[in-house]
Structure 1
Amino acid sequence: MRRNLFGGLLAIFLVFALAACGAKSQEDVIKELDKKMEELSSYKAEAKMTLTTGSEPQVYDVEIWYKQPSYYRVNLKNAEKEQNQMILRNDEGVFVLTPALNKSFRFQSDWPKNGSQAYLYESLVKDILNDSNASFKATKNHYVFETKTNYQNSKMLPKQEIILNKKDLSPVSVKVMDTDMKPLLTVEFSKVEFNAEFDKNAFDTEKNMTRAQLDVPTIAQEGNGTLEVMYPLDLPAGVEPVEEKEIATENGKRLIMTFGGEKSFTLIQEKARVLPAMSTPSFIKGEPVDLGFAIGALTDHSLTWSYNGVDFTIASNDLTPEEMMMIARSVQGTAIK
C-alpha cells in the first residue's frame, strides 16, 4: 500500500518536473523571436482592425505584405465607407495611395522604422525585444507580452498587449491601450504566411494603384453636392470652438473652423477632388501617420488626410503632433451642410 502510494507520488512529481522543463521562459521566447527575425525573408498577413476612439467602433480589413530588405505594402479597407488606402515602400520611397481619388503622396521617410506599427510583425517583435520591462505570460496556446509603445503619440497610447502563437510565433492579436488601459486599437490576425512568394511587380506604385482601382471605383464628382461636415469630439484642455466659416469653391464648399483658447488651430474640410488618372505623386516633407481609419500626412505644423471623399487639414503653430493626431482621430461628429 505504502509502496503504491510512494510510486503514485513519484509519478506525479515526474509529470510536474517534465512540464516545468518544457515550459519556456521569457528569455527563451525572446531568443526565438530574435532568431525568427534573422531568418524571416518575407510574409503575407490578413487582419481585422477595430478603432474605438469615436462614438461607434470602426472596423477595417488590413492586408500586409513584406519582403526583405525593406519592401512593404499595407492595404487598408473599410467596405462600408468605400474607404481604401494603401501605404507602399519600395526603392523609390514611401507612398500613400488613395485609389478612389487617383491621389498619391510620396514621402522621404524612414517609415516604418520611425515608430510602432500594430499590424507589422517585425515592428511588434522589435517592441518586445526593446522593452526590458515587458511583462510576459504563457497560456496553453499563446505567449502574451505587454510592452510600451513607440508611437508619436505614445503619451496617449503608452501600452500594448501582443499575443503570439506558441507554434510558430506568428501574431494572433494586438491591443493598443490608452492611459486607463482601455483598448483603443485592436488588430486581430486571421492569416499569416511566413516566407511568402511575390511577383516582380508586387510593390510597384503604378501597378498597385491600378489594381486597387479595380476594387474601389473612382469617386464620382458631384460638383456642388452636400458636404457631410465632421466635428472633432476631443479637444485639448482649454481649447474651444471660436468660428465656423463657409466658402464656395469650384468643387462645392470649403468649411473653415477655428479653435482658440490655451492653444489655437484651424480645421479645414472640403469635398475631395478626383485627380486625372495616373497623376504624378505629390511630394510631402513629412511623415505618413496611421490614424486608424486613414493614413495621414504629418508635418511640423499640419496634418492632412482624406476620408469618405472629403479632404481634411489641421493647421496649427501651437499643437503638438500628438494633439493633432488626437483631434484627427476624433473628427467623427457629423452635420449636413
Structure 2
Amino acid sequence: MFKKVGIRMIIVFGLVLLLSACGEKSQEDVLEELQENIQEISGYKANAEMKMNTGQEEQAFSIEVWHKKEDFYRVALSNESAEKESQIILKNEDGVFVLTPELNKSFKFQSEWPENSSQPYLYESLVGDIVEDSEATFTSDDNNYIFKTKTNYQSNSNLPYQEIYIDKQSLAPVLINVLDKDDNTRVTVSFTKFEMNPSFGEKDFDMEENMANARPDDVPASGDVTETAVPVLSPVNTVGAQLNERIEQELENGKRIISTYTGEKNFTLVQEKLDVVPTLSSPKVVEGDIVNLGHTHGVLSEGSLEWDYEGMSFLLASDELTRAELIEVAQSIEVAVEGK
C-alpha cells in the first residue's frame, strides 16, 4: 500500500513539474517569439499616453504611432488639452521630417531615425533594445513579460535603463518605464491601443497631407494679423550660468526675445513668435539629430538646439554646452514661465 502511494506521489509530482515547465516560458523563448512577431507583422497602429518627470512639474502627452513596413513611420505628439497634433515625425521614401502644422513649419533630415536611438513608443525599437542587451533581466506577472534593459539615448546618459512590459497573449507592448541612474521612473509610456497588421491609406505618410490634416482651424493665414502677448520663458537648469542680458526686438510681424546667460558655461536663448503664419514652403533641410525633449521634438546640431512649442520657435546656442547639456537646458524651459 505504501509502495502504491509513493508511486502515485512521484507521478503527481512529476506531472506538476511538467505542467509548470510547459506553462512558464524562458527569456530566450519570449525573445524568439518577439523577434518572429516583428518579422511577421506588416505594421501597426498604436495609441499611448506619455508622462514625463524630468523637470519641476509632470508633463502629460498623447502619442499616436503608425508604422508600415519597411520604413514608413508617423508619430504624432500632442498635449492632452490639444484638439489636433502639435507635432509629427514622419518618415517616408523622401526622408525624415519633423512637422509643426501650427506654424506651417517643417524640417527634413537625412537621418537614421529611428534606428539611431531608443524610442520608448516604437515596438521594434523596444524589441531591439532587448535583443542588444546581453545583460537584460527577465521576470513575469500574471499578464505580462517584464524586461529590464539598458537604453540607447545617444545624447542623454541620464536615463540609462527601462522596464518593458509585454502582454503575454498578444506580445504587444503594454507599459514602458524609463529609469534614471537611481532607478527612479522619469518617463512612463502607457499603451492604450495596439493594432497589428492594420490597413493604411495611400497618403497616410505624405508630408503635405499630414501638414494639412493636422493644422488647427484657427491658425492665422499669411496676411491675417493676430497680435498676442509673448510670454518670456526662462530655463530652470542653467548649468551654473546666470541671466546677463535680455533684449526684446519688435519684428515686422511678431516679436523676438534674446536672452544671454553667462557663467560656468555661456549660452544664448532666442525665442520668437510671429503674428502671421508664413505660407507653407519646402521643408528646411538640416544636418542634425531628432531629440525628444518631452513636450516636443527638437533638432540637435553641433552647438545648437532648435524646436517649436505652443506657437513659438526657440533656438538654444552655445559653443560650450555639451549635447546632453543643451537638451537638459531646453527640457527645463517649458515650465519656467516668469512670474508663475
TM-score w.r.t. length of structure 1: 0.92
Tell me how far 1:274 sits from its aligned partner.
4.7
Alignment of 1:98-117 (within 5 A): 98-117=100-119
Tell me how far 1:272 sits from its aligned partner.
4.2
Unpaired runs of 5+ in structure 1? Answer: none
Verify the 8 A CA contact 1:228 1:336 in the aligned structure 2: no
1:335 has 2:338 as partner: yes
Q: Secondary structure at the match of 2:142?
A: coil
- Taking a change above 3 Å as real, the CA distance of residues 216 and 80 of structure 1, as seen in their structure-2 partners, is farther
Match of 2:242 in 1: 240
Using the aligned pairs only, state the percent identity: 45
Verify the 8 A CA contact 1:176 1:186 in the aligned structure 2: yes
- Taking a change above 3 Å as real, the CA distance of residues 244 and 111 of structure 1, as seen in their structure-2 partners, is same
1:17 has 2:48 as partner: no
Match of 2:285 in 1: 283
Amino acid at match of 1:59: A
Query: Which residue, 279, 301, 304 being the options, matches 1:302?
Result: 304
| Aligned counterparts of 2:131 and 2:87: Cα–Cα separation in 1 | 30
Verify the 8 A CA contact 1:84 1:216 in the aligned structure 2: no
Tell me how far 1:5 sits from its aligned partner.
8.2
Q: Deviations over 1:27-66 (max 9, x none)?
A: 1111111212221221111111111223322111111000
Amino acid at match of 1:42: G
Match of 1:48 in 2: 49
Verify the 8 A CA contact 1:288 1:297 in the aligned structure 2: yes
Residue range with higher mean Cα deviation, 298-307 or 249-258: 249-258
Q: Secondary structure at the match of 2:232?
A: strand
Q: Deviations over 1:215-237 (max 9, x none)?
A: 5642587655321111111232x
Tell me how far 1:188 sits from its aligned partner.
0.4
| Aligned counterparts of 2:273 and 2:204: Cα–Cα separation in 1 | 31
- Taking a change above 3 Å as real, the CA distance of residues 202 and 167 of structure 1, as seen in their structure-2 partners, is same
| Aligned counterparts of 1:260 and 1:293: Cα–Cα separation in 2 | 26
Verify the 8 A CA contact 1:229 1:336 in the aligned structure 2: no
- Taking a change above 3 Å as real, the CA distance of residues 256 and 21 of structure 1, as seen in their structure-2 partners, is same
Verify the 8 A CA contact 1:74 1:88 in the aligned structure 2: yes
| Aligned counterparts of 1:167 and 1:158: Cα–Cα separation in 2 | 28
When the two chains are superposed, the root-mean-square deviation of aligned CA atoms in Å is 2.2
Q: Secondary structure at the match of 2:198?
A: coil
Amino acid at match of 2:316: I
- Taking a change above 3 Å as real, the CA distance of residues 334 and 190 of structure 1, as seen in their structure-2 partners, is same
Residue range with higher mean Cα deviation, 319-328 or 226-235: 226-235
Amino acid at match of 1:205: M
Match of 1:183 in 2: 185
Verify the 8 A CA contact 1:93 1:108 in the aligned structure 2: yes
- Taking a change above 3 Å as real, the CA distance of residues 91 and 205 of structure 1, as seen in their structure-2 partners, is same
| Aligned counterparts of 2:260 and 2:235: Cα–Cα separation in 1 | 12
- Taking a change above 3 Å as real, the CA distance of residues 18 and 260 of structure 1, as seen in their structure-2 partners, is same
Residue range with higher mean Cα deviation, 31-40 or 298-307: 31-40
Alignment of 1:19-98 (within 5 A): 19-80=20-81, 84-98=86-100
| Aligned counterparts of 1:27 and 1:49: Cα–Cα separation in 2 | 29
Tell me how far 1:81 sits from its aligned partner.
5.3
| Aligned counterparts of 2:156 and 2:170: Cα–Cα separation in 1 | 29
Unpaired runs of 5+ in structure 2? Answer: none
Verify the 8 A CA contact 2:45 2:66 in the aligned structure 1: yes
Verify the 8 A CA contact 1:100 1:216 in the aligned structure 2: no
Verify the 8 A CA contact 1:101 1:219 in the aligned structure 2: no
| Aligned counterparts of 1:181 and 1:251: Cα–Cα separation in 2 | 47
Verify the 8 A CA contact 2:60 2:80 in the aligned structure 1: no
Verify the 8 A CA contact 1:101 1:275 in the aligned structure 2: yes
TM-score w.r.t. length of structure 2: 0.91
Alignment length (residue pairs)? 335
| Aligned counterparts of 1:29 and 1:85: Cα–Cα separation in 2 | 35
